[in-house]
Amino acid sequence: MLGCAPAVAIIYALPAPLKLPLQNLVLMFCALLLAHLNVRS
């Protein structure tokens, strides 16, 4: 999951109230990306 590493680094630099919602969005995007790649292969 190297594609999500830059997003995780940015999230840790944000203020605490923004971390959880943005982390959830990034995890959802990574899960959708992996699911899409698995369906195509």
Is pLDDT larger for residue 12 or for residue 3? 12
Whole-prediction pTM value?
0.65
Give 12-25 pLDDT, tens digit per residue: 888 888 888 988 98
Please state the domain count of the chain: 1
Nearest one of 34, 36, 10 to 22, comparing CA atoms: 10
Residues in the chain: 41
Per cent of the chain over pLDDT 70 is 85
Cβ neighbours for 22, distance < 8 A, ≥ 6 positions apart: 11, 14
Across residues 31-38, what is the average pLDDT?
Answer: 89
Contact, 26 vs 11, CB < 8 A? yes
Range of the domain at 32: 2-40
